[in-house]
């Protein structure tokens, strides 16, 4: 349920405006000026709410919804109840997200927790730091020497921006974020507990002990990247760790030194990427995927959750398993193992009966 004290609603939409966002037309007889006052899931939406439908798991909920209107993909358009206005679009979820973003802009990125603008007197900003007009720095935050922060950026309470770090415009650092040895682009979102630019895990192993290898690279984060809570991005050893434009990283992800991640990748929670690996553009890693060091995952490849990637993955491939291999091969092996296990159980039963 949406709680207005956390996310105040800034505007409403009528049916015509939603249809325009979806680049579609309303059904015959629909009142384009009908006002939608909120958004809700199918099962709880009321007559003044907008819902969406693009997943076969919710066909039952679609059939009984009381929503005033529903953004729906063509596949399910015929199942929308007569009392609900269907707004048909192949991008139902995306348009729903656009509507929500305009209704509840404060939910789009972390905002100041101090309900203030400008530099809080309880923050610590080094005299040599350069902050453009419109930067917000909350209490307890520390901005180091020669750091640069662009207009419209919010630095949350008790966050630390290290010496010489550069952060672009309209970024959001939630409370308790640390950034060092990094250059960050525009509109980047770092959620609470994110750590950027700390030492990579580098040691020269030997019988005399493990000698620390100095990590003298940087972290480069390009525009429109979002990194979830308590994720870590280590700086490079002797070159850069890079996160490409538009990439979205979930909570609790570890990205090691020298890793290069391309544009518009999706990395789900608890992924670990070992040092010097490369993800090309549009790669998707499911939850708990482990990626070995010094491997390359090709453009558009998808790796199933809990898989272990031990070698290079071709562009566009769909792999899974431990170790990860092509999906069809993995499924065939699972089927064969089930048959072997079933045969073993059958043999045991035959032996017992004899």
**In the prediction, which pLDDT does 65 show?**
98
Whether residue 346 has pLDDT greater than 90:
no
Looking from the CA of 44 toward its CB, the CA atoms found within 13 Å total 6
Q: What integer best gives the mean pLDDT of the chain?
A: 96
Cβ proximity of 92 and 54 under 8 Å:
yes
CATH number at residue 33: 3.40.1390.10
Q: Is the peptide bond before 323 cis (omega within 30 degrees of 0)?
A: yes
Band of residue 354 on the pLDDT scale cut at 50, 70, 90: low
**In the prediction, which pLDDT does 342 show?**
82
Provide the 10 A C-beta neighbour count for residue 157: 21
Domain that holds residue 71: 13-107
User: Domains in the chain: how many in total?
Assistant: 1
**pLDDT per position as a tens digit, 166-217:** 999 999 999 999 999 999 999 999 999 999 999 999 999 999 999 999 999 9
Instruction: Classify residue 65: in a domain, yes or no.
Output: yes
Region of 23 (left: φ > 0; alpha: ψ -120 to 50; beta: rest) is left
**In the prediction, which pLDDT does 114 show?**
86
pLDDT above 90 covers a percentage of the chain that reads 92
Instruction: Classify residue 76: in a domain, yes or no.
Output: yes
Segment 46-51 shows an average pLDDT of 97
**pLDDT per position as a tens digit, 228-263:** 999 999 999 999 999 999 999 999 999 999 999 999
Instruction: Classify residue 215: in a domain, yes or no.
Output: no
Instruction: Classify residue 179: in a domain, yes or no.
Output: no
SS3 state of residue 128: coil
**pLDDT per position as a tens digit, 144-178:** 999 999 999 999 999 999 999 999 999 999 999 99
Instruction: Classify residue 47: in a domain, yes or no.
Output: yes
Cβ proximity of 267 and 249 under 8 Å:
yes
The residues annotated as belonging to the active site are 257
Segment 312-325 shows an average pLDDT of 98
Instruction: Classify residue 331: in a domain, yes or no.
Output: no
Whether residue 348 has pLDDT greater than 80:
no
């Amino acid at each position: 349920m949406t709680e207005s004290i956390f996310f105040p609603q800034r505007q409403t939409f009528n049916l015509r405006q939603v249809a325009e966002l979806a680049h579609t037309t309303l059904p015959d007889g629909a009142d384009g000026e009908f006002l939608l006052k909120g958004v809700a899931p199918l099962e709880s939406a009321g007559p003044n709410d907008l819902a969406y439908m693009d997943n076969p798991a919710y066909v039952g909920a679609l059939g009984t919804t009381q929503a005033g209107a529903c953004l729906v993909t063509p596949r399910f358009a015929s199942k929308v109840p007569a009392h609900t206005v269907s707004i048909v679009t192949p991008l139902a979820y995306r348009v729903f997200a656009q509507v929500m973003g305009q209704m509840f802009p404060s939910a789009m990125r972390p905002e100041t927790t101090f309900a203030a603008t400008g530099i809080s007197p309880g923050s610590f900003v080094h005299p040599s730091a350069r902050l453009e007009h419109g930067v917000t720095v909350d209490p307890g935050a520390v901005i180091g020497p020669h750091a640069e922060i662009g207009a419209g950026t919010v630095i949350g309470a008790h966050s630390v921006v290290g010496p010489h770090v550069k952060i672009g415009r309209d970024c959001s650092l939630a409370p308790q974020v640390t950034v060092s040895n990094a250059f960050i682009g525009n509109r980047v979102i770092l959620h609470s507990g994110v750590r950027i630019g700390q030492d990579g895990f580098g040691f020269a192993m030997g019988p005399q002990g493990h000698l620390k290898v100095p990590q003298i690279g940087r972290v480069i984060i390009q525009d429109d990247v979002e990194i979830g809570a308590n994720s870590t991005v280590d700086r490079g050893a002797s070159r850069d760790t890079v996160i490409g434009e538009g990439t979205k990283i979930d909570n609790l992800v570890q990205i090691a030194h020298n890793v290069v991640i391309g544009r518009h990748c999706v990395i789900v929670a608890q992924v670990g990427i070992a040092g010097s690996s490369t993800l090309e553009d549009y790669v998707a890693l499911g939850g708990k995927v482990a990626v070995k060091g010094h491997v390359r995952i090709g453009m558009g490849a998808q790796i199933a959750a809990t898989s272990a990637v031990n070698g290079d993955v071709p562009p566009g491939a769909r792999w899974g398993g431990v170790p990860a291999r092509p999906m069809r091969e993995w499924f065939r092996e699972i089927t064969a193992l089930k048959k072997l296990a079933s045969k073993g159980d059958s043999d045991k039963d035959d032996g017992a009966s004899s």
